[in-house]
Structure formats: structure tokens, C-alpha cells
Amino acid sequence: MVTVEPYMPAQVLVVDDDSAVRRAVARFLRAEGIDVLEASNGEEGLTRLRQAPDVSAVLLDLRMPIMDGWTFRRQQRLDPAIAKIPVVIMSGADVDRFNELEAAAAFEKPVQMSEVAVVLHRLCGND
């Protein structure tokens, strides 16, 4: 008898302080078959990431209150349990410096969500 593992959708953590952007991105990704977790700043994002071991990728804004995306990424890389989870930058500023963050990709806002979805599907193994 062959055992088939149930299909588990990719899970992406969206970290953005703009609730309208975050909700729109989450709605689009869910329509793409991606499970979405949300956080409104880097500190909340790190907490959610540590609590959700099945996250496949992080979609990260850089400019946020409480903890910005730069600090989020530094803290993430210091934690072996979450360090290897790929990050995609989606920001209105500093995307030209994404190599410093060791990000998988970077998009300048406003973004074409279809392009972001292609990258996330690839990172999550859904391509």
C-alpha cells in the first residue's frame, strides 16, 4: 500500500506595517494557493516566524516602526532555527541594497504581484 502525504500549501509570512498593503498582498497570495501569515513590524514578524516552523518564505518591507526590515533580517540570520528561510524584499526604498540582506529577490513598491508570486512559488517549491 502506498501512503500519500496530504498536500500542504506553501506558507509565506508577509511583514509590512501598511495594513492595506499587507491585506491586499495576503488576499492575492491566498488566491494563488499560498497560505499567509501576517505581521505589522519586524518584531512581530520574528515572533510569528519562530512560532510557525512551516513558513517557506518571508515577504518583507524594509521601513517599519518598532523593528525595521534590516534589523529583522539581522536577527533572523542569527537564529539557526529560522536563518535559512528565504526572504523576498518588497519595499518603497533601499531595494537596490538587497544584496546586503542576502535576500532571494527584491521588488520596489508598487509591485506587480504576479511577479512576486512567481518568485514565491519557486522558493516554496511550487513551480
pTM of structure: 0.88
Domains defined along the chain, listed by start = 11-123 (3.40.50.2300)
One pLDDT digit (tens) per residue for the chain, 127 residues: 554 444 446 899 999 999 999 999 999 999 988 999 999 999 999 999 999 878 999 999 998 999 999 999 999 999 999 999 999 998 877 666 767 788 898 888 888 889 998 898 888 876 5
- And the C-alpha cell for 51? 512560532
Alpha helices in the chain (DSSP H): 19-31, 42-51, 69-78, 113-123
Helix, strand, coil abundance in the chain, percent, nearest 5 = 40, 20, 40
SS3 category, 51: helix
Query: How many CB atoms sit inside 10 A of residue 52's CB?
Result: 14
